[in-house]
Structure 1
Amino acid sequence: MVRWIQGVCMVVLVLFSAASYADVTEIEATVDKNPVIANESFVLTVTFNDDVGNSAFQPQQLLSDFMVGRTSVSRQTSIMNGELNKLTRFTTVLIAEQPGTYTIPAIMMDGAKSKPITVEVLAAGSDTSARSDKIAFIESTVDSDSVFLQQPLTYIVRLYLAADLNKGNLVPPQMENADIRQIGSDEESSEMINGRRYKIYQRTFQITPNKSGTFKIKGARFDGEVYAEGQRSIFSSFSNTQPVSTLGETIELTVKPIPANWQGAWLPSELVTLSQTLSPETDTIEVGEPLTIRYQLTAVGVKPEQLPEISPAFPDSVRVYPDNDETDQYVRNGVTIAQKTVSFAVVPNQPGSLQLPSVSVPWFNTKRDQADVARTDPVTLTVEGVANQLAQQPKAEPQAPPKPEPEASPQSTEQPQAQPDVSALADQRLVTVLALLLFLSLLGNLAFFWRRRKQRPLKVQAKANTEQPLTSSQQWRNFQKACADNHARKADEFLRKWAQQRFDKRLVALGDLARWLAHGNQVDQELQQQLNDLQQSLFSASKPKWTGGKALYQSLRKALDNQPKPKQRNDLPELY
């Protein structure tokens, strides 16, 4: 029995060893459809009647007239009537970009070769291209085929699939001397075309040309696999799939240069706006009191890095402290919008009328093909108080000696004999002024030493006062009452005072509070929105009525509850 089993095994080994040295005697090449449509994929299948390596068929070198897509390899082994049969099958996706007649040459190996295949490629607009057996195709559109330099255009890709998608990749369009980026998220829908239902995948790109001239936008390309109809299995690894590729049409684009007479930063856009807000919003301000002015530049259809700098020409009577610039970009209805916000802290030095200058930003209106300007209105404020009193006092002192002449004139009419003593009177006035200055200097020194002696206890007392929970609780109760009354101005005031006492730093923008209370790196979006609504009701041009007091208080209360509880403070110093 054992010898019989050994004999059978020897026969099987002989058969397998004999088959391993078998040569390729037959090669078959077929296409899944003919004729085909330009920019539409078709499948070339090459079958060898033996087990060959993956490098036996290299379509990139043989098929230079086509765009070669994904190539997959499968192998099959069977024994029939004691004969071992092996097959190696190569499946390649091809795309013809231009209509015409093309030839797939014969594939040769070990003296065997396939028959050449003549492929007829029809134009995309022919009647045959409207047939309903297309599994996949792409439609590409642009919002304009003629733009100015650095003027972004919107490129929309719509991929139509008539079968369920297994996997795939959508390659973005290509263009020389241009920046290409995806904007927004993908959209999905379905549509019935020629009696066949297609699932549509839409993706939007923004193309910004960096050089003028005439260019071609090479269409987006899709490579993937779909499930064959009627062959889908509940086991994904055994599903019968077929490769598919498709290419969008090539679009010609004209990029116009910057006008010769243009001066300044180049900003092509459909719409540009520039707004300004003051905080606090007032017409009167004290000397030395800071005022925040914020400029917001918004442009449609541009990238944030294209927005120019905003540099107002403030007068010499103010001190200016610039804040950090903030840039943002978002998509609305498929259109990109870039925004830049610049803030300045302005501190007036002298009383009187203060005029904050108008700011203008030149831009090119692509809708009307002409230059335009976005500007703000100048702001006039009244500054009250006294400017630099200590600096003005020395200027009045040298004028003291000449002033006795008009005061002595009445005495000269009554006592003419006092005229010769004018010089003596002036010397006496000078001595009086010097004595007065010496007295004031002595008082100043005494005040300095007194303040220096009291400075340390005062600081300790001030620190003790800030640590008392009563002040913070009072501000919180005031803020709670303002929210209950929907009083935006008081809610903003008490919220800022409470935040400054709690976090020991000034709250410049209300939106910063959401970041201060963030749990880790996750900002509470609900609290951020409520703070933005309060700030908008105070500083926006429309000034909407604020009704979100209760929602703001609840959001802030929720954010505080999520904060880690601080350790209880002790009056005793820390032990080491």
Structure 2
Amino acid sequence: MVSRIVVLICLVLLPLQAVAALSASVDRNPVLAGEFFNLTIRADQNVKGEQPDTSALLKDFVVGPTSVRSNTSIINGQVNHTTQWQVELMARNPGDYTIPSFAVANMQSSPITVKVVAASNADTQSKDVYIETSMENSELYVQQAGVYTVKLFLANDLTEGQLGSPELENANVSQLGKQKESYEIIDGIRYLIIERNYLIQPQKSGKYTIKSPYFKGRIRDNYRTRAASAIGRDVQLTIKPIPENISGNWLPSELVTLNEEWQPEKQSYQIGEPITRTITMTALGITKEQLPEINLPSINGVRSYSDQAETNNLVRNGKVISQKVESFALMPQTPGTHTLPEVRVPWFNVITNRIEYATLPTRELTVVGDPNFVQPTITAPQVSNAPTSDIKEDSITTRVETPIYYWPLVILGYALWLITLLIMWFKRKPVTTLAKTDKEYVPSANPLPALQTAVKENNQRAFYHQLVKMCKFHTGSADLTKLNNVINNPQFAEAINHLQANLYAGKNHTVDLKFIYQQLNNLNKKPKSENELTQLY
């Protein structure tokens, strides 16, 4: 009886023991440094909502994405479930590494020891894919910018691939511009070269290692594709601290220069004449964000207005060059000679290890008055050399010589004036009639149809010409202010102002000609007495 119970317990526990199995394995061992290999973690049951924690692998390996799949099989009526995780790993350097154990759903795997060997030089040279890394300077100051270059060499056509980014602790790493592609023949093999430049800006002093980016993808090999991977050489960096004697803005660079341009460039300027002063700051080995602002002190007699600065950077011979262009508008207000002070920008020379200054020298700005303005000249009266006591007031006389033709012109003008009065006397009836209508000008026809034609053609100039005629028709004057008083509509007055600004001030306002025409048409429909009453008011 007891033996039967033992057998029954074993039959129950054996399936449970099989379910609790979790194993880990690699597809090859040893592996080459710089090549990806596969780590497979397998659970003999259906696991949902959980997966192995692979963060511990980041210490020794480049860890690719994790893929998961589940499988169910029935053998001799027995149902089997499996869950499998696959992770791609790469070791940067040769050595012996331990893949730790993993725990999933109360199951735990055993650790694995992986041996990583270095690829021989012959294998490296014959590889279809390899990476070269370089950096111009192996020593930098804190916040000094360096350029890190990565070149990927491909001897076969690439079907798919992924190129990672360099890694550096306590530093800002960003790609500069777009990648470049070129072709080069090396040892009789034609390679496609993909080049990327990265801006490296350390933030702390010490010794650091730039971990090379890796490549993983598939290349075409005759009529099939195969997996390919590569990794470059790590670069060692020494980061120097900021010197203790530095105060203010920290600008570590190999060279900083200031240049200026004047538009217009003249010996002297007139009062109110606008002058554009453009200052360009160029620096080697720093980012465009590090370039300081250019502040010009205020000058009595000259107004100054700064424009928005433009910044950019580029890479030349493995070095980053940054530039800031800032423009200032100067407006002289008073004549004379104005002194523009020196412009100084301090920076730290990383070659000589000392503070230097980029400068613009002082400049004299000569301002003169408007040459078209003529100052009135006052001539003092001539005084004889006689003593003052001998000069009497009645001895100072003013003598005005009258020309011969003076009186004949006076008589002729008086006669013409009398003739004009006689002509006006004989024509006084039409003038009286005009006075009763209180009009200075009465056109023969209403310009409203011509206004309508100008509206259809959207011709602002022709419309304005007819508008002046309409103003004369209703007010007897070409003064549009009187027409605004008759219409008595603020929108109408604003539309007229915009129309005048477009025609005579070079503006580009939107003017609703149809609205103006409607207001004039309504005015034309009103009784004449009502229009006169509005104008009088």
TM over 0.5: yes
CA distance in structure 1 between the aligned counterparts of 2:480 and 2:273, rounded to whole angstroms: 24
Q: CA deviation at 1:328?
A: 1.8
* Counterpart in the other structure of 2:268: 284
How many residues are paired up? Answer: 403
Of 18, 26, 29, the residue aligned with 1:30 is 26
CA distance in structure 2 between the aligned counterparts of 1:227 and 1:382, rounded to whole angstroms: 71
Contact 2:147 2:197 (C-alpha < 8 Å) held by counterparts: yes
Q: CA deviation at 1:155?
A: 1.5
Alignment pair present for 1:346 and 2:340: no
* Counterpart in the other structure of 1:226: 218
CA distance in structure 1 between the aligned counterparts of 2:289 and 2:109, rounded to whole angstroms: 57
Q: CA deviation at 1:146?
A: 0.9
Cα-to-partner distance string for 1:66-120 (whole Å, 9 max, x where unaligned) = 4543222234556778887765443222233554323446779999998865422
Q: Identity, % of aligned pairs?
A: 31
Match of 2:388, SS state, is helix
1:536-575 aligned within 5 A: 569=513, 572=516
CA distance in structure 2 between the aligned counterparts of 1:111 and 1:348, rounded to whole angstroms: 83
Q: Which has the larger radius of gyration?
A: 2
1:44-443 aligned within 5 A: 44-47=39-42, 51-52=46-47, 55=50, 57-60=52-55, 66=61, 68-76=63-71, 88-104=83-99, 117-122=112-117, 127=121, 130=124, 132=126, 138-159=131-152, 164=158, 166=160, 168=162, 170-176=164-170, 178-189=171-182, 200-211=193-204, 213-222=205-214, 225-226=217-218, 249-262=233-246, 265-313=249-297, 315-316=299-300, 318-333=301-316, 335-367=319-351, 369-385=353-369, 410-412=386-388, 414=390
Contact 1:28 1:115 (C-alpha < 8 Å) held by counterparts: yes
CA distance in structure 2 between the aligned counterparts of 1:410 and 1:71, rounded to whole angstroms: 118
* Counterpart in the other structure of 1:558: none
2:195 corresponds to which letter in structure 1? Q
Q: CA deviation at 1:276?
A: 1.9
Q: CA deviation at 1:264?
A: 5.4
Higher helix share: 1
Residues 29 and 383 of structure 1: is their aligned pair in 2 closer, same or farther, counting only changes over 3 Å? closer
Match of 1:305, SS state, is helix
> TM-score w.r.t. structure 1 length?
0.54
RMSD: 5.2
Match of 2:289, SS state, is helix
CA distance in structure 2 between the aligned counterparts of 1:310 and 1:263, rounded to whole angstroms: 18
Instruction: List runs of 5+ in structure 2 lacking aligned partners.
Output: 1-14, 394-478, 483-492, 523-537
CA distance in structure 1 between the aligned counterparts of 2:282 and 2:141, rounded to whole angstroms: 19
CA distance in structure 1 between the aligned counterparts of 2:104 and 2:334, rounded to whole angstroms: 95
Contact 1:149 1:210 (C-alpha < 8 Å) held by counterparts: yes
Contact 1:74 1:90 (C-alpha < 8 Å) held by counterparts: yes
CA distance in structure 2 between the aligned counterparts of 1:305 and 1:219, rounded to whole angstroms: 26
CA distance in structure 1 between the aligned counterparts of 2:102 and 2:249, rounded to whole angstroms: 60
CA distance in structure 1 between the aligned counterparts of 2:25 and 2:247, rounded to whole angstroms: 64
Residues 35 and 197 of structure 1: is their aligned pair in 2 closer, same or farther, counting only changes over 3 Å? farther
Match of 1:501, SS state, is coil
Q: CA deviation at 1:184?
A: 0.7
CA distance in structure 2 between the aligned counterparts of 1:322 and 1:284, rounded to whole angstroms: 20
Match of 1:130, SS state, is helix
Residues 325 and 408 of structure 1: is their aligned pair in 2 closer, same or farther, counting only changes over 3 Å? farther
CA distance in structure 2 between the aligned counterparts of 1:310 and 1:24, rounded to whole angstroms: 71
1:166 corresponds to which letter in structure 2? E
CA distance in structure 1 between the aligned counterparts of 2:305 and 2:218, rounded to whole angstroms: 57
Match of 1:173, SS state, is coil
Instruction: List runs of 5+ in structure 1 lacking aligned partners.
Output: 1-18, 233-239, 394-402, 422-453, 472-499, 505-565
Residues 467 and 86 of structure 1: is their aligned pair in 2 closer, same or farther, counting only changes over 3 Å? closer
1:173 corresponds to which letter in structure 2? E
Contact 2:41 2:85 (C-alpha < 8 Å) held by counterparts: yes
Match of 1:265, SS state, is coil
* Counterpart in the other structure of 2:431: none
Contact 2:214 2:231 (C-alpha < 8 Å) held by counterparts: yes
Contact 1:218 1:248 (C-alpha < 8 Å) held by counterparts: no
